[in-house]
Amino acid sequence: MSAQRKKKKKKTRAKSGRSPFLLKRFWLLLFLPAAVALDFAAKRSPDFAEWYAVHIYPLYAKPLSALFALAPVSVGEILLIAGSLALLAFLVYGTVRLCADRQRRRERLVRLLSVPAVLASLIAFLCVSNYGTNHRRWPFAQTAGLEVRESSAEELYALCAELTEEANRLREGQPEDADGVFLLNAEPFEAAETAKRCFNRLTPQYPTLETWGKPKPIFFSEVFSYLDISGIFCPFTFEANVNVHAEDALIPATMCHELSHLSGYMREDEANFIAYLACRAGNDAAFQYSGTLFAMIHATNALYDADRTLWEKADALRSEGVRRDLAANNAYWERYDTPVAEVSDRVNDAYLKANGQEHGVRSYGRMVDLLLAERRARLGDSRTETKPPAEPEPAEPPTSDGEGAQDDYNAPDDGEMYI
Ligand SMILES: [Zn+2]
């Protein structure tokens, strides 16, 4: 045996004799207390969270999102699938070896469990640093200088009427399928470029809104429909992933919603509002329609709860094209309304509450307050208390069954989980 081989054997023996609790990878567990400390600081001080969101997060989020945007597929989706399979294979392999090696069982057990423990520590840190802190930042209304306050049902009606008439106008001349339903006349990647362009048109007015990334169509989009997920921001690859299997009408708005998360705005209601602003900021007719339709759905759903008579007046304003798009959208999500989707919604709701969105999924309704504030700022307070018409046009009944009627006009739960 050569001296070199003897040395190697000695080294191997020394390694196996070392305590399994001294694995080099254990230093990575320090990311867990770091995540807790960062989350604590952000939770205690919105000023710190805002400073982090404005000065630290963009330093790495922008270049990394630009880098991952070069990939023609969603890297996050691949990571999720490949990573899950690899971890499963590792655990099965490790368990088999653990059972076979009785002499070193303790060491093998520590080594086996160390991998998921280290992964969990890293994931926790990335989750906190890449979106958790952004949940705690200043409200977008504060950054944008918008005054959010309680509003009358009449003012809400005026907003609904304005959005509906605008949606009707923008719907004219849009491409349609054989059933007369809106068709996005662009491939998903082409639409993603448009989304990025629209979004960055907001930057001069709102400097904190800027993205170097772009939306990514999810390859297994239909699977996400079963989970009731229309989009998902991946904080590990800084990708704004979008379910492109859903009906076309709201896909542009969803793309801009996910870009809002990428740019550091994690609250769902704010991301919805920013999506509306972004869609309207560009000069793409499909995006303008999608964003307006998106806002109209949220506003009229809020009006439905606030004043049923005014809601019927607003509902009567909708054009046939808009009605067909809404009906197709609702029919689509009803097809995927499975027990799996319900569980997914509950998980998402719990996630939102854990991140300081107290109302969970219901917090999406606050988007309407931002729409009202933006309208007041745009028109001036004196013009905002617009009354509905004194002699309303005959209202079309919502649907046949009262309370259930609202569902026919609801947006799909904009439930994104974050991986
Ligand atoms: Zn979202």
Let me know if residue 368 belongs to a domain: yes
How does residue 97 score in pLDDT terms, banded at 50, 70 and 90? confident
pLDDT over threshold 60, residue 3: no
Number of domains present in the structure of the chain: 2
CA 416–ligand 1 middle distance (angstroms): 5
CA 175–ligand 1 middle distance (angstroms): 27
What token pair was written down for 121? 């520590």
Give one word for 203, left, alpha or beta, with left for phi > 0 and alpha for psi -120 to 50. Answer: alpha
Compute the C-alpha angle 235/241/246, nearest 5°: 150
Q: Where in 92-251 does DSSP place strands (E)?
A: 215-217, 231-234, 239-242
Q: What integer pLDDT is reported at residue 13 of this predicted model?
A: 46
Q: What integer pLDDT is reported at residue 417 of this predicted model?
A: 44
Among 150, 171, 136, residue whose Cα is nearest residue 354: 136
How does residue 220 score in pLDDT terms, banded at 50, 70 and 90? very high
Residue with the larger pLDDT of the pair 364 and 192:
192
Domain boundary pick from 119, 135, 151: 135
CA 268–ligand 1 middle distance (angstroms): 5
Residues 65 and 147 in one domain: no
CA 331–ligand 1 middle distance (angstroms): 22
CA 71–ligand 1 middle distance (angstroms): 22
Residue 53 contacts residue 137 (beta carbons within 8 Å): yes
Residues 192 and 166 in one domain: yes
Let me know if residue 415 belongs to a domain: no
CA 290–ligand 1 middle distance (angstroms): 16
Among the residue ranges 2-16, 62-76, 159-173, 375-389, the one predicted with the least confidence is 2-16
CA 77–ligand 1 middle distance (angstroms): 17
Cβ count near 338 (within 10 Å): 13
CA 271–ligand 1 middle distance (angstroms): 6
- Cα distance between residue 418 and residue 80, in whole Å: 11
pLDDT over threshold 70, residue 7: no
CA 44–ligand 1 middle distance (angstroms): 23
Residues 219 and 77 in one domain: no
Q: Using one digit for the tens of pLDDT, what is the confidence trace for 109-146?
A: 888 888 889 999 999 999 999 989 999 999 999 999 99
Backbone CA torsion sign across 52, 54, 56, 57:
positive
CA 270–ligand 1 middle distance (angstroms): 9
CA 414–ligand 1 middle distance (angstroms): 7
Half-sphere CA count of 210, side-chain side, radius 13 A = 16
Q: What integer pLDDT is reported at residue 247 of this predicted model?
A: 94
Report the pLDDT averaged over residues 247-272: 95
How does residue 401 score in pLDDT terms, banded at 50, 70 and 90? very low
Domain that residue 30 falls in: 23-135
Determine the 3-state secondary structure of 282 from DSSP. Answer: coil
Let me know if residue 416 belongs to a domain: no
CA 353–ligand 1 middle distance (angstroms): 14
Residues 58 and 180 in one domain: no
CA 96–ligand 1 middle distance (angstroms): 41
Q: What integer pLDDT is reported at residue 75 of this predicted model?
A: 95
CA 259–ligand 1 middle distance (angstroms): 9
CA 265–ligand 1 middle distance (angstroms): 9
How does residue 406 score in pLDDT terms, banded at 50, 70 and 90? very low
pLDDT over threshold 50, residue 361: no
Half-sphere CA count of 103, side-chain side, radius 13 A = 2
Q: Using one digit for the tens of pLDDT, what is the confidence trace for 310-356?
A: 999 999 999 999 999 999 999 999 998 877 666 666 666 666 566 55
Residues 317 and 393 in one domain: yes
CA 197–ligand 1 middle distance (angstroms): 19
CA 404–ligand 1 middle distance (angstroms): 25
CA 365–ligand 1 middle distance (angstroms): 13
CA 261–ligand 1 middle distance (angstroms): 7
How does residue 105 score in pLDDT terms, banded at 50, 70 and 90? confident
CA 86–ligand 1 middle distance (angstroms): 28
Residues 101 and 152 in one domain: no
Let me know if residue 2 belongs to a domain: no
Report the pLDDT averaged over residues 373-395: 58
What token pair was written down for 208? 């904190």
What token pair was written down for 383? 């013009």
Residues 159 and 94 in one domain: no
Let me know if residue 414 belongs to a domain: no
Residues 95 and 222 in one domain: no
Percent of the chain with pLDDT over 90: 64
What token pair was written down for 232? 């998902």
Among 187, 176, 185, 357, residue whose Cα is nearest residue 261: 357
Domain boundary pick from 135, 159, 185: 135
CA 169–ligand 1 middle distance (angstroms): 27
Let me know if residue 17 belongs to a domain: no
CA 415–ligand 1 middle distance (angstroms): 7
CA 232–ligand 1 middle distance (angstroms): 7
Residues 255 and 397 in one domain: yes
Q: What integer pLDDT is reported at residue 382 of this predicted model?
A: 45
Q: What integer pLDDT is reported at residue 88 of this predicted model?
A: 92
Residues 149 and 124 in one domain: no
Among 281, 300, 279, 304, residue whose Cα is nearest residue 290: 279
Q: Using one digit for the tens of pLDDT, what is the confidence trace for 385-400?
A: 433 333 333 333 333 2
Residue 181 contacts residue 321 (beta carbons within 8 Å): no
How does residue 366 score in pLDDT terms, banded at 50, 70 and 90? confident
Q: What integer pLDDT is reported at residue 348 of this predicted model?
A: 65
Let me know if residue 75 belongs to a domain: yes
CA 266–ligand 1 middle distance (angstroms): 7
Q: Using one digit for the tens of pLDDT, what is the confidence trace for 263-310?
A: 999 999 999 999 999 999 999 999 999 999 999 999 999 999 889 999
What token pair was written down for 246? 């859903």
Residues 121 and 164 in one domain: no
CA 273–ligand 1 middle distance (angstroms): 11
- Cα distance between residue 375 and residue 56, in whole Å: 32
Let me know if residue 418 belongs to a domain: no
CA 258–ligand 1 middle distance (angstroms): 6
Residue 116 contacts residue 36 (beta carbons within 8 Å): no
CA 408–ligand 1 middle distance (angstroms): 22
Report the pLDDT averaged over residues 206-213: 95
Residues at Cβ < 5 Å from ligand 1 ion: 268, 271, 416
Domain boundary pick from 109, 135, 161: 135
Backbone CA torsion sign across 191, 194, 200, 202:
negative
Cβ count near 7 (within 10 Å): 10
Residues 148 and 121 in one domain: no
- Cα distance between residue 325 and residue 184, in whole Å: 12
Report the pLDDT averaged over residues 30-38: 95
